[in-house]
Structure 1
């Protein structure tokens, strides 16, 4: 099965670093009975996996012959240790892809107080938004700092972690991964930091007891010389007296997955000339140059091609005709449109792009944690940067940002953080504000050409923003169009006149592209959609309604199979995604299929014609 070199590189780099051997995946992680245990291209996942809860698999059992596929080399050893009579890690061409959904509840961590703050790490894009010193960077760094705890949880046996009896009782200590002079416990507090972990879903399903009740793990840290027990309770608070290794596997593999997260802090410098230091998980200095040289011109063809693919991404994003990147003595040499440059000569935004993309490409993390992805980047490049990075992850991206506009455009889930004067930081979910004019203000778009965008396109929802950006790349227009989500029926209705009038006062070149939601070619549009179209006509807002049901109904079989595997099937013109057997993806993953499409697959369709003329 065909695979991009970028996907192959995840296995290459993991094998080199971990000494582990398994085939890489061209799609995502699967549960179920295998029909292709020895087939290349079915083991490791790349992409943002997910599946509706009603279709998720049950937790794995020790004696399962239906071995689960894995997300990290560590998970391979975990499954082999617990399997009986077989070390094969199998996968399915027709079963259920996994989802990552882990909830964290934190007290007395850095700037957070006794009142627990709650957030979840899920598939897709998650944004943490707040002002300076609100705590968003601290919260983002949490998974990096508790990495030693996660390692102990997935490397240990169930009875060595949880003291169910005096025979097994023991204290537990771990040391957070923090910089010298820093502390993880809130300043001035004598109480320990408390971290509660709830696995709602993961590689082996939710972490529950034999009755299906959700379980909660509590870990503590005060000082290096103070030890605590790990506590295990039901979500209701009731104690649990025993836990089988079968049930423990759900926690263990989820922790292994989160241990594979990669943290990229703010204030990325280009290379830090000389030396071999790292900035959190970013490789810098001579080691960065050496790694780039190995991937660029070493003996592994997959690594060579992955660097070429990344270089093509950079060329396209920055609008160069030709781009070549070569390692020099202590920096990178760039040949841009036939002219030689050192990386230090380029703008901070370009250097930021190169260093971060190379590091993420090499590591291929399960989850990417990145602070201020908008750093040094023009507004028109920020979403493109995030989506390009997400292509090199297995589950998704969590990012901290000052830009509410970027968060609203990119994120599936947004948390806002605030810290009152003299108080501790608080976290709460952000509820979408449907005011389009407010959103454009948040996006810093006011129709001026120097902002980079020349027109506004109103689209169905957030998933269409990310998917259409991939399709606009085909026509070279991804940085010309600002897409604003209408949130479906929330604004696609006949009484949204005032919102559209306000929008026209800001930008004159406004258009719309919405789904038809038809189930047959002859079916008329729903009444509110027709009223919205009539309203746009009265306001002289041009646009189009898709002839097919929705955007995903334009995806060709070739692109669908390239992303999700040979068992996946494309939709017919009027099939509904959630009800089509074999259509094994969610709308939040539409952008991944769109990224694989070619111009000849769009030309000749009403969608292709609209984008070409936009």
Structure 2
């Protein structure tokens, strides 16, 4: 279920200029300068997580529906409740509105009784909240209802149902299972003291930086996870090791805790290093991956994922951690290029002259050459990159990146999203020529959008293909409708379950029941084999890109 969230009177977002964002599966970016409020948006989900946890169970809603308040706690980083309230001089409460947008596949009867909106109010400087349940434009009249496990029922009217809460409780459950990863990850002192005896006395204390466990407790947790009896946890630690091997190009990697749980020993391709001897990039990857893989959050909230990482590793870092989230990732960044290539949705956050902040969807799309500049393409060239592949959009970018890994060429090709119709049109020649001047080897891969084998191509697709030819760019139009039509049945069932099937060559994803979100395509692509891909025109084109 998609949720439209409006936040009023929270930190730099007063009630006359609230923050409005949409929370849904996939990757969401907040872009802005320092102190603009983008980090506050991430912290909101962290600071009110306990409230969401309370709201994720049915029992409080009997009290809330009756018009009474319910208590919650802020995390330890919030020293007083006053800290989270907007500094604007008004006595009004902090307000959180959640507008629910049901999925087309949801049960129609349940949708009719499900709340359309819930408005949560937190009185200024207090740790209690009230809530109004809306159905349509009317709020549920306050009275004493009963809760039967999935819905509120009215005992005064033959115990008839008045509000179906199951879907809403699942939304709150997802909000309660987020994981916040703050900035300065490489500034964290993993080892609180160098004194061995002192380490031994404090190693069982809870040492953390927001939701990242650090120090001896983290080392101990890794040791117990990798050598314990829980096979699923052991599998998670093995996945982390395999991810690090693939990202950094290691042939062999083994990670062990040292004596007395003071540090880690990394055995890399025959050499042994302690964590302090490794580069900050690998240390950050390991610290974050290990924490999120063992917690398995719904949404990962990460502040400045680009810190201390080369542009090549920034997008890989985001894509890698995204697979450990059940719903998606929200990140705050200074890098517009990273947001454009990694996010499914982008919000700009700007500081206003009155001291508040403004949040708006980021709509302007650059020409491909401009995006290359935002991505610091010169840095890629220094690492040996000589090819650029233009793809439809950010969801396709992640899919193609997984396919290139099958050819072991994902480190040789820079992928750029065209943003669908915004980049694929008959006026694209100038932008394509700019890219061609920057890089000699440029390719383009676009969807055919055919509804059948003999259906003609849309004029804009034909025109774009011809413009690519004029610019010296080798363009391939997919034989099938889109990239998701190339996902194999085995990979789909492995990721989504046995009730799902592969698309027919010209079938539209949204027309299939049950369907999945396009943002999940890359997770399915990750499970495909080279043999499955090689038999298709897509696989043959990618091999050509890799070998030329």
TM-fit CA distance, 1:496: 1.5
- State the distance in 2 between where 1:498 and 1:111 align: 41
Partner of 1:160: 63
* CA gap 1:237/1:119 in 2 versus in 1, 3 angstroms: farther
Change (3 A) 1:231 1:568: closer
Q: Return the alpha-carbon distance in structure 2 between the equivalents of residues 249 and 407 of structure 1.
A: 34
**Aligned with 1:369 (options 283, 292, 301):** 301
1:273 to 191, 207, 217: 191
- Corresponding residue for residue 156 of structure 2: none
Q: Does the 8 Å CA contact 1:185/1:192 hold for their aligned counterparts?
A: no
Q: Secondary structure at the match of 1:230?
A: strand
Separation in 2 of the partners of 1:216 and 1:492?
40
* Deviating more after overlay: 243-252 vs 428-437: 243-252
Q: CA deviation at 1:525?
A: 2.6
Q: Residue 257 of structure 2 corresponds to which residue in structure 1?
A: 327
Which sits farther off after the overlay, 308-317 or 481-490?
Answer: 481-490
State the match for 2:449 in structure 1: 517
Question: What does the per-residue CA deviation read over 1:425-484, in whole Å, with 9 as the maximum and x for residues that have no partner?
Answer: 111111141422322222222476226643211111221111111111111222322222
Who is 1:494 aligned against? 426
The more displaced of 447-456 and 549-558 is 447-456
Match of 1:126 among 28, 36, 44: 28
> Can you list the C-alpha shifts for 1:279-306, whole angstroms capped at 9, x where unaligned?
1111111111111011111122332222
Q: 1:440 matched to which residue of 2?
A: 372
Name the SS of the counterpart of 2:74 in structure 1: coil
1:113 and 2:28 equivalent? no
How far, CA to CA, are the matches of 1:175 and 1:307 in structure 2? Answer: 32
Change (3 A) 1:134 1:230: same
Among 87, 90, 100, the residue aligned to 1:187: 87
Maintained 8 Å contact 1:369/1:397? yes
- Counterpart selection for 1:253 from 164, 170, 173: 170
CA gap of 1:309–1:334, structure 2 versus 1, over 3 A, is same
When residues 122 and 109 of structure 1 are mapped into structure 2, their CA distance, relative to the original with a 3 A threshold, is same
Aligned pairs for 1:71-110 within 5 A: 99=1, 101-110=2-11
| Separation in structure 1 between the aligned mates of residue 130 and residue 426 of structure 2, nearest angstrom | 59
Give the number of aligned pairs: 508
Distance 1:415 1:295 in 2: 37
Q: Provide the C-alpha distance between the structure 2 equivalents of 1:531 and 1:448, rounded to a whole number of angstroms.
A: 30
In the alignment, which residue of structure 1 is the partner of 2:74?
Answer: 176
Residue 391 (structure 1) aligns with: 323
- In the alignment, is the contact (CA less than 8 A) between 1:145 and 1:178 conserved in 2? no
Query: Does 2:62 correspond to 1:145?
Result: no
* Residue 533 of structure 1: aligned partner: 465
* 1:45 aligned partner: none
The answer on 1:587 being equivalent to 2:498 is: no
2:282 to 350, 358, 362: 350
Q: CA 1:126–1:538 in structure 2 vs 1: closer, same or farther (change >3 Å)? A: same
Could you say which residue in structure 2 is the equivalent of 1:291?
Answer: 221
CA distance in 2, matches of 1:325, 1:137: 32
Distance in 2 of aligned mates of 1:600 and 1:118: 45
The structure carrying a bigger helix percent of its residues is 2
Cα 1:154–1:448, aligned 2, differ >3 Å: closer, same or farther?
closer
The residue correspondences of 1:552-591 to structure 2 (distance < 5 A) are 552-582=484-514, 584-591=515-522
TM-score when normalising by structure 1: 0.77
CA distance in 1, matches of 2:69, 2:487: 54
Aligned equivalents of 2:449 and 2:52: distance in 1? 44
| 2:394 aligns with one of 462, 466, 478 | 462
Higher strand share: 2
Deviation at 1:234, TM superposition (A): 5.7
CA contact (8 A) 2:47 2:78 kept: no
Q: 1:501 to 1:349 in 2, by over 3 A?
A: same
Whole-Å separation in 1 of the counterparts to 2:226 and 2:5: 39
Task: Find the residue that maps to 1:325 and give its secondary structure.
Answer: strand
Q: Distance in 2 between matches of 1:286 and 1:557?
A: 44
Q: Which residue of 1 aligns with 2:180?
A: 263
Unpaired segments ≥5 residues, structure 1: 1-98, 165-169
1:223 to partner: Cα distance: 1.9
What is the distance in 1 between the residues matched to 2:501 and 2:78? 52
